[in-house]
Amino acid sequence: MDYKQSGVDIAAGNEVVRRIRSLARATFTAGVLSDIGSFGGLFRLGSAAAPDPILVASADGVGTKLRIAFMSGVHRTIGADLVNHCVNDILVQGAEPLFFLDYLATGRLEPDVALQVVEGLAAACRENGCALLGGETAEMPGFYADGEYDLAGFIVGAVPRERLIDGRDIRPGDALVGLPSDGLHTNGYSLARRIAFEVAGLKADSRVDELHATIGEALLVPHRSYLSIVRPVLDARLIKGMAHITGGGITENLPRILPEGTEAVIDRTAWQVPAIFVWLQRTGAVPDDDMLRTFNMGMGLILACAAPVVDDLLQRLRSAGEPHASVIGEVRAGSGRVVYTR
């Protein structure tokens, strides 16, 4: 018996590496000092523009959204989901991405599927100005079901020390500005899948007229990156804190940036909840509280700023390409929770 007979195809793995090398190289920035295939990726840190950088790192996955990809056979958007999620996680502290690493694990390597995933990773890295510095593709027979894989991402970014955003200056009376999401992003899929495929009995290619798409298309809309919108605003020093609305919704994520003795008041009438959330709540008879602590409900990023500068901030965000930025609440003295009004 040889390794291939035990379930690991080294030749297929080498072919994947060969095919993705050009994709990764196309993302390389001036800081990259190594090529794909070395044991560790090399990146030069520091520049005249940022002589005292603080590194900001994060790791994440895309959760059970992967199962929608398995059901639909669409794998390119999953890579973009992963990169954009990680970019947003470090953006909330003012950091811009330097490089990204991925980990793809599967029971039996399918080169075409792996290539689709990496194409999505590479495209998102290029859009975010981030180098796809390296990664790992692991073939583990008997560990994953046929046709399935897992995907994780690791990102490192940097922010000049004087531009670090950590929420410590947030005060009662500050305004909360919301930037809209593009759907579920990468959270709440365990509940969404149960509603769509068990309660409603749909297939991935079942069309939902209310959503103007198949349910698979609606659920695979990529996680949005907010870097291009927020980057032009950072130098103005108007933002005191940012919350990326991921798992736990606004209810669990916004308190993560609130100083002790404050709480957030969110006006639920300040924006129109997208149709996908309305459909999920009605179809699954989901209580409001569960919706608000499971999904982003149409708000993917929330910024805190002083009330006197909120108009300036909104104008800058709109000039950067986000016409739907709006005030959705305020900070007040309190116990660290989120209070909803309507």
Q: Which two tokens stand for residue 171?
A: 């005060």
- The larger pLDDT score, comparing residue 280 to residue 5, is at 280
Single out the residue of 230, 186, 210 nearest to residue 65, CA to CA: 186
Please list, residue by residue across 128-147, b when 16 or more beta carbons sit within 10 angstroms of its beta carbon and e when fewer do: bebbbbbbebbbeeeebeee
Q: Is the pLDDT of residue 48 over 60?
A: no
Residues 77-83, mean pLDDT to the nearest whole number = 97
- Please report which helix (H) or strand (E) contains residue 88, including its range: helix 76-91
Could you give all domains of the chain from N- to C-terminal order, each with its CATH number?
Answer: 10-163 (3.30.1330.10), 175-341 (3.90.650.10)
% of the chain at pLDDT higher than 70: 94
pLDDT digits 0-9 by tens, 160-196: 988 999 999 999 999 999 999 999 999 999 999 999 9
Q: What is the pLDDT of residue 21?
A: 83
- Predicted local distance difference test score (pLDDT) of residue 166: 93
User: What is the rounded distance in angstroms from the CA atom of residue 253 to the CA atom of residue 222?
Assistant: 20
pLDDT at residue 52, as a whole number:
79
Question: Do 224 and 182 contact (CB within 8 A), yes or no?
Answer: yes
Q: Extract the tokens encoding 50.
A: 């940022």
Confidence of residue 5 (pLDDT cuts 50, 70, 90): low
Confidence label for 37 from pLDDT (cuts 50, 70 and 90): confident
